[in-house]
């Protein structure tokens, strides 16, 4: 029983480490995704948070 308990403790430690590693990887992937979206957005719109095309002109309403 003691051997099994020791084995279970080791496995639990391994599991915790793997879970932490996975969570770190997920964070990195999310950051890379955000960076890519931001890069793409800057390529598409320039440094323009609203995403309005540069050649956009306001159309004056006609009455």
Write down the pTM of the prediction.
Answer: 0.54
- Locate 39 and state its tokens: 């890069």
Q: How far apart are CA 35 and CA 31, in angstroms?
A: 6
Share of the chain above pLDDT 70, in %: 65
pLDDT of 44 reads 66
pLDDT at 51 over 60: no
Residues with Cβ within 8 Å of residue 48, at least 6 apart in sequence: 54
Average pLDDT, the chain: 81
DSSP-assigned letters across all residues of 20-38: HHHHHHHHHHHHHHHHHHH
Phi and psi of 51, rounded to 5°? 70, 30
pLDDT digits (tens, 9 = 90+) for 33-50: 888 887 776 676 666 656
pLDDT at 12 over 90: yes
């Amino acid at each position: 029983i003691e051997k099994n308990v020791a084995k279970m403790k080791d496995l639990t430690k391994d599991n915790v480490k793997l879970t932490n590693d996975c969570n770190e990887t997920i964070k990195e992937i999310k950051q890379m995704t955000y960076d890519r979206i931001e890069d793409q957005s800057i390529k598409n719109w320039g440094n323009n948070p609203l995403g309005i095309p540069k050649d956009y002109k306001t159309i004056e309403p006609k009455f």
